[in-house]
Amino acid sequence: MQLTRSVKHDPKQRLDEIIVKLRELNFRITPQRVAILRIFLNSQDHPSVEQVYAQVKADFPSTSLATVYKTVNLLKEVGEILEISFAGGGNRYDGIKPYPHPHLICTTCNKIMDSEIGLVDQIANELEQTSGYRIVSHQIEFFGTCPACQKK
Amino acid sequence: MQLTRSVKHDPKQRLDEIIVKLRELNFRITPQRVAILRIFLNSQDHPSVEQVYAQVKADFPSTSLATVYKTVNLLKEVGEILEISFAGGGNRYDGIKPYPHPHLICTTCNKIMDSEIGLVDQIANELEQTSGYRIVSHQIEFFGTCPACQKK
DNA sequence: TCTTTATAGATAATAATTGTCAACAATCGA
DNA sequence: TCGATTGTTGACAATTATTATCTATAAAGA
Ligand SMILES: [Mn+2]
Ligand SMILES: [Mn+2]
Ligand SMILES: [Zn+2]
Ligand SMILES: [Zn+2]
């Protein structure tokens, strides 16, 4: 069960690839979709829908929040962004590493960091053996205080 | 960073202990609270607020949903139930093991199983070293199909 | 360019949860 | 045990995040 895969992140190349993919799936390439996709591909900080909405409106003032939600769902369904959901506030998204991976979340400033843990696939394998579940995904989050917030 | 602790689960004893604790914190011991607490202490299946509501109404028909939510929040705050939240539907709760621990979630029947992974504390320690975060909690969920649902 | 039809934007609807407040009842002290 | 105090309940309004609906529009292919 290989849940993760390594992807060298090149926003421009991925934008092109995803556009081709969407076209193949008979989705239309609208300026709104491209703008939202660009924002995801260039955000290191796991933005929320509201944050994407604010950004896209800067370039494209007529965009509606519903369109952002619809595009987010579309990109989720085609596997090009990862949804991170947890208690307290809305979901966050990762457009750079769209496959399941662990996160470190600062409960003070809400910053979300990627964290590499090599053991995840082994753990998933073990769990499959011992539990009989067929594991297809995971969500692993560690909560705490980031270095910056500790200095206060 | 010892996030987990082992607790031998004895519903009756824990009920008494929690009641003493709540009284010490100047919370009143109402029949509704005791009823809700009993349900949590005797549920192996990580019930939702709605499920607890349905159960408590069987014995106590006048109970309101708001009271269930308030009691859930109270028990969360005093650390006697664990909240499990993920995309798709409401939160689920564990009143038997109220400390962070990994779960296996069936995306077909929504069953949630506890899963023991010894490595969690080591991973948390490693992450603290490499990231500088001070980790205080975690949420680890594996999604897949349970054995029963695979047979269909 | 023309036609088809998926999509955008406006807005209503929904789901989950939280806030408000008056009547009530758990607790404690006399 | 009684009575005063004040935290809690239950009804319901409000909020937050998200999804559904619908019509004008515009992307894509002929
Ligand atoms: Mn990430
Ligand atoms: Mn559990
Ligand atoms: Zn922080
Ligand atoms: Zn199942």
Q: Which residues from the 20-49 window of protein chain A have CB within 7 angstroms of nucleic acid chain C? A: 26-28, 30, 32-33
Other Cβ atoms less than 10 A from the Cβ of A48: the count is 17
> Which of A94, A112, A139 lies at the terminal end of a domain, its last residue?
A94
- Number of domains present in the structure of chain A: 2
Q: What is the mean pLDDT of residues A44-73?
A: 97
Three-state DSSP state, A112: strand
- Return the amino acid letter for A139: Q
Residue A2 lies in a domain: no
How many whole angstroms separate alpha carbon A43 and alpha carbon A95?
7
Q: If you measure CA to C1', which residue is closest to nucleotide C9? A: A64
pLDDT of residue A104: 95
Statement to judge: residues A90 and A118 lie in one domain: no
Task: Looking at the structure, tell me whether residues A83 and A108 fall in a common domain.
Answer: no
Contact A134, A128 (CB under 8 A): yes
**Closest residue in A to B138 (Cα–Cα):** A142
At residue B8 the predicted structure's pLDDT band, cuts being 50, 70 and 90, is confident
B39 and B18, same domain (yes or no): yes
A70 touches strand C (CB under 7 A): yes
B25 touches strand C (CB under 7 A): no
Instruction: Answer whether residue A124 is part of any domain.
Output: yes
pTM for the predicted model, two decimal places? 0.91
Please, which positions of strand C sit below 7 A from a protein CB?
6-12, 15-20, 25-28
Amino acid identity of A134?
Answer: R
Between CA B139 and CA A92 the distance in angstroms is 15
Q: A31 vs A19, A38, A52, A71, B65, CA distance in Å?
A: 11, 10, 15, 12, 45
Residue that terminates a domain, selected from A56, A74, A94: A94
Task: Spell out the SS3 assignment of chain B.
Answer: CCCCCCCCCCHHHHHHHHHHHHHHCCCCCCHHHHHHHHHHHCCCCCCEHHHHHHHHHHHCCCCCHHHHHHHHHHHHHCCCCEEECCCCCCCEEECCCCCCCCEEEECCCCCEEECCCCCHHHHHHHHHHHHCCEEEEEEEEEEEECHHHHCC
Same structural domain for residues A89 and A18? yes
Q: If pLDDT is split at 50, 70 and 90, which confidence band does A19 have?
A: very high
The radius of gyration computed from the CA coordinates of chain B, to the nearest angstrom, equals 17
Residues with CB under 7 A from strand D: A 23, 28-31, 48-50, 65-66, 69, 73, 85, 89-91; B 26-28, 30, 32-33, 60, 62-67, 70-71
Asked if A89 and A113 sit in the same domain, the reply is no
More confident residue, B142 or B89: B142
Instruction: Assess whether B130 and B110 both reside in one domain.
Output: yes
The whole-number Å distance from A108's CA to C24's C1' is 39
Summary mean pLDDT of chain B: 93
pLDDT bin (cut points 50, 70, 90) of residue B121 is confident
| Minimum mean pLDDT range among A27-31, B53-57, B95-99, B127-131 | B127-131
Q: Which domain holds residue A49?
A: 11-94
User: What is the structure's pLDDT at B117?
Assistant: 82
- Partners of A115 on chain B (C-beta within 8 Å) are 127, 130-131
Chain B residues within 8 A of A132 when measuring between CB atoms: 146-147, 150
Alpha carbons B129 and B59: distance in angstroms, whole number = 50
Q: Does pLDDT of A135 surpass 70?
A: yes
The mean pLDDT of chain A is 93
User: Residue A140: is its pLDDT beyond 80?
Assistant: yes
Q: What is the pLDDT of residue A88?
A: 81
Whether residue A87 and residue B83 make contact (CB cut-off 8 A), yes or no, is: yes
Residue A19 lies in a domain: yes
Local confidence band at A141 (pLDDT 50, 70, 90 cut-offs): very high
Residue A150 pLDDT greater than 80, yes or no: yes
The CATH number linked to B40 is 1.10.10.10
Is B77 a member of any domain?
Answer: yes
The answer on pLDDT for B4 being more than 70 is no
The pLDDT of A71-83, averaged and rounded, is 98
Q: What is the pLDDT of residue B128?
A: 92
Read off the pLDDT of residues B11-68 as tens digits, 9 standing for 90 and up. 999 999 999 999 999 999 999 999 999 999 999 999 999 999 999 999 999 999 999 9
Amino acid A152: pLDDT: 84
Q: What is the pLDDT of residues A100-120, one digit of tens each?
A: 999 999 999 999 999 888 888
Nucleotide nearest to A36 (CA to C1'): C8
Query: Which numbered ligand comes closest to the C-alpha of A104?
Result: 1
Domain boundary among B94, B116, B141: B94
Distance in angstroms, CA of A70 to C1' of C10?
14
